[in-house]
Amino acid sequence: METPTFEQLPSLVFELQNEIRQLRTSIEEKVPQHQEDRILSLKEAGKYLNIKPNTLAQKCRSRKITYTKKGRVMVFRKRWLDEFLNKNAVKALK
């Protein structure tokens, strides 16, 4: 690739800016979905919810939080925890 001339620089910068925007958009579309499907352990989920793992396990046993098991170990999808938080949110008064 040969060195661009001074006159070519503005159009090259414009092309680079467009490519950067497209890459950012592509990344932003993929990252949230990936993060929602992330699997968390009991300890990680407790940390995410800011509660102790024992408290989280009690909520699971009383069917207040969705979970699954890998063998004998409870695991959680991040989106399930987000759904729990949204469902239990207290609405602000206007």
**Across 65-93, average pLDDT:** 92
Prediction pTM value:
0.59
| Domain map (residue ranges) of the chain | 7-35, 38-87
Main-chain dihedrals φ then ψ at residue 41, nearest 5 degrees: -75, 175
Q: What is the dihedral of CA 43, 48, 51, 53, to 10 degrees?
A: -10
Q: Is the pLDDT of residue 70 over 90?
A: no
Cα–Cα dist 56/52, whole Å: 6
The model's pLDDT over 13-46, given as tens digits with 9 standing for 90+, comes to 999 999 998 988 887 677 655 566 789 999 999 9
Whole-number pLDDT of residue 32: 57
